[in-house]
Amino acid sequence: MIIFKQAAALGRYLEKQRSMQQKIGFIPTMGALHQGHLALVKEAQKHTDITVCSIFVNPTQFNDPNDFKKYPNTLDKDIHQLEQTGAHILFLPSVHEMYPQGIHHLEQYDLGYLETILEGAYRPGHFQGVCQVMSRLLQMVNPDDLFMGQKDYQQCMVVQWLLKHLSMPTRFETVATRREADGLAMSSRNMRLPEADRKKAPAIYQVLEHIRRHITAGPLSSLQQEGRSLLEKEGFKVDYISMAAADSLAPIDNWDGKEPVIALVAAFLGEVRLIDNMQVTK
């Protein structure tokens, strides 16, 4: 595996690979890698010739500075895992490399309603930061295919919007959420859970399964309230439990029995905020 820290050197190398008709797959991460990230690498290997993974903890997408400071750093382990998985390139830029003019007064994006609901509502500025870093990464790597995990469902929709905004032909592939044996969605944030909270954390998955099993045509508010009560009973502080159209994230209060529905949850367990989702209808 080759490690690049400068975008210019990375770009020259990838341009040479393109001249030899090599197809490039890209997996952007913030490190603290787990099997979910490695599944993205493996998926990229099925469809592309060169797999590029980036590790960059982006300061502009954290609306809580303490959350940024506490984000796990396991770089040596990350590098070893990527090598073992067979990634070809690791892009490891500094903040200055990504934002040479600093992180203030950056460009803003018109994300419409996607920035006003769910994660957009509870994490003001978060998706602006996602677009700021992803626009730079995408233009530095210029991948044929981009691979991201379904756990960050709304973020995937934002990045798909960004690709259209940038007029990039990159193919976007969402990869199914990887879960622990007890159902908890794999996440770098899980490392921050104390043992007692780690045992409670799968309740989010259990709530999603409860919704999937019990959803019926008609009003959905009582099902949402059941889910909220189940989580609060386990000690969660719930930001939202929402049912939305799977293709647009438009909220669904009254289900017609036909439209594909995704259930989304965000909740704090102690200081750690966990998110998850599940398509609960076909």
Binding residues for (R)-pantoate: 61, 155
Q: What are the residue numbers of the active site?
A: 37
Task: Give me the residues paired with residue 174 across strands.
Answer: 148
